Structure 1
Amino acid sequence: MLAIVCPGQGAQKPGFLTPWRELPGVEELLGSLSEPARIDLLRHGTESDADTIRDTAVAQPLLVAAGIVAASQLRSEEDLPAADVLAGHSVGELTAAALGGVLSDEDAMRLVAVRSRAMATAAAAEPTSMAAVVGGTREDVLAAIERHGLHPANINSAAQVVAAGSAEKIAALGEDGPAKARVIPLQVAGAFHTPYMAAAREELAAFAPTLSPADPTLPLVSNAGGEVVTSGALYLDAIVTQVASPVDWEACMATFRDRGVTAMIEVAPAGTLTGLAKRELKGIALANLNTPDDLEAARALVREHAGLAPSDQEA
């Protein structure tokens, strides 16, 4: 049983699309995606520095495009079985929407262009930030976040919650955090996935009717509590709501566990979500699809695990 997962903002690295451009058709694909994205994806993915691609309006389209490119190369072998389930973390849900057939590649890029700019504008309205709280007990961590007037924006695992809110309150959390936990400030532009993003949610809600979602070709696991979504319209609704609501990736991993997922492939730029799975989903096979050199191993993993429940593997 195979899951393909798509990373969220923060996973991008300077030059991470460079190895992919050498493959036939990739430059053309990035060129075709750049117009609806409203940025030069090839230039930013191969030449721009870390500060440039940290910009929300650049990072988010790059991440969605990178996932589309990596997945298209993975599936370029016609006999490759389909995955059993898809999921994305935060903006990775737009990548998953494209991979799962809910949105065309072009519409996914149109949507991420609006999303990224709306979130950047909302973030600029007042000084806000985010910090990862690692360790401690869930009860103590959530209590400390609430005590400081912050929001749990990302529930990434049993040992990691990302707090978000005003920059001043994030600094206070760092000085007076929960017991046995580390508070690590994140280099992000604002308090994503909190009520601070209400204006961005409204802008997305106004844009969404211009899209024509289809029902997914594969089950999609939503950041909203790990629910398995089989309606394209409902998945698009969840994407709109998600910008001002918490990302519950821990619940997504619980759904993988409940469905008997035996392997996970993370599309480029990979490593964050497989890292969480390594700690939370003991025993499953993991692969990072970061460069074309990773394609052979990833395809082998697909053939070994797609459509297989744990009992099938043991037989």
Structure 2
Amino acid sequence: MNIAVTEPDLIVRREGAAGVVRLNRPKALNALTLEMARGLDAALTEFEADPAIALILIEGAGERGLCAGGDIVGLYNSAREGGDLGKVFWREEYVMNARIAKFPKPYVAYMDGFVMGGGVGIAGHGSHRIVTDKTKIAMPEVGIGFFPDVGGTWLLSRAPGEIGTYFGLTGETMNGADAIHTRFADAFVPASAWPELRAALTTASADAHADNVRGILARFTMTPEAGPAQRHAQQIDQWFAHDTVEAIFADLERDRSDFAQATLKALRAKSPTSLKVALKLLRIARDAASLEDCLVHEYRAALQVFVSYDFVEGIRAAVIDKDRAPKWRPATIEEVTPDIVARYFDDRGDDELKLPD
């Protein structure tokens, strides 16, 4: 009798001097659960203390991508039931995001295929971020009544011009070239070269350091052609320079180009409240001194998101009923008052979020 062997959702192992962490939920596009986040954090603790481990390698199982984000179905069920999964999950996830950014050993993230939301959190703060000709990175949270989190406001606000604001509010997908331009990634490597590059990384010497890893990557790195968003950088910088969503809409409405109208259509499909909250978070992030400062603001806002109508409604429309027709409350940006937005910026939860020094 054949007995099926079920692999864990997170595979942690040593390969030579590399500590390898593989997200292993390919049928769910490796969506990140609380248990996986805790497993990754435990792996980092183990590998950091092990002198035989020179670098960390993060990858996703299957051929579709690294990680489609957090397990939003679990968050949806908890929010509907009045649970606290959101508070616990985001708190532990954000602490891990900050830890990744300060990890003392080279942290190599293979961002092939889909990398969305929480996937950006475990890859985008790494020291060596690889994208490919198949990469599709997005922070589409405004489409489910949320906002770019996991330190996404820090990353987006440090992109050149207003391209980060564009990606944060529209939720549009960036390819590998746009990811390099937006400073979400460091090296563009064709997916076909990954097996050879991976072998080079996992056979690096035990005393390899960041310069060694950069040297290995340089042997495989190519310069891609400009991505779609980069080619529209001048228009994006004009439209998204405003500090209000209303002004952004107005600029887009005046521009009758196909790209402007497609951008406007994308924005109109998002939660009006999320658009305003996300834009304010991005502007705060622009002046922030650190990733940790951004994570504090994101956590405060996330606690309000978890008890909001739009979050449950957005997930329902996107992944539960899949009708793609959310009924937002308020329904228009004009109806989202300053008082509504202010709820997402109350001082709360700071004593719970124990970020690393």
Bin the TM-score by the shorter chain.
Answer: under 0.3
Q: Larger % of strand: which?
A: 1
Identify the structure with bigger relative contact order (alpha carbons < 8 Å, sequence gap 6+): 1
TM-score (norm 1): 0.28
